[in-house]
Amino acid sequence: MLNVNGPITQEQIKSSLSKEGAEMLNEHLVQRLIYEITEDNENSISIIKCLLEGKITDEEISEEIELRLNIVRKILYRLYDAGLASYKRSKDPETQWYTYRWKFEKDKVIDIITKKFEENSREMEESLAYEEDNMFFSCINGCRYKFEEASEYNFVCPECEKTLEYQDNSSLITELKEQMS
């Protein structure tokens, strides 16, 4: 599944929702999503802009932005796999070659961002509950154990054999609550 790095806020989603077409591509959150999907920070936005401007075949896009056809196709297929692009295939009766007519599914961008927000919110709620419901102990090397595990090890780290000390996680709890608000 896609991983949009960092917490997604409702304000970011609302800002992205208010944009249309190529203007949407200027939104940082939309760009992060597209870059993550395509794994290409250089060319993906220009390819999508071509689609939005009416260049619908991979050959047209390749010529327009002067980029090798295989790179254009790779990015288009990654967008397709994520649900952000669709295509219709037709066969040329003379050459018997297939032509792919691509479409950028801009409405799906908001769906994916919203889904990521919901997943992120759920994960943060689970992390908060985990942190609030447990007491932790850690060694100087950063190994961290719940109380039950630490007591099984007699409060000695099984990794480095250093003493496990109580770890105050109140700042982490506060940070999670702030991110959720």
Model confidence pLDDT, tens digit, residues 91-145: 989 999 999 999 999 888 888 888 888 888 899 999 999 999 999 999 999 999 9
Share of the chain above pLDDT 70, in %: 88
Q: What is the pLDDT of residue 126?
A: 95
85 against 20, higher pLDDT: 85
Q: Which of 169, 138, 142 is nearest to 153 (CA)?
A: 138
Within 13 A of 39's CA, how many CA atoms are on the CB side? 7
Structure tokens at 168: 């105050």
H/E run at residue 121: helix 106-133
Map out the domains of the chain as residue ranges. Answer: 10-111, 134-181
Phi-psi region of 96 (alpha: psi -120 to 50; beta: other; left: phi over 0): left
Residue indicated by tokens 């599944």? 1
Answer yes or no: is pLDDT of 10 > 80: no
**CATH 3.30.70.1520, domain 10-111, yes or no:** no
Query: 26-58 pLDDT, tens per residue?
Result: 888 888 889 999 998 889 999 999 999 988 899
- 145-149 long-range contacts (CB < 8 A, ≥24 apart) are none
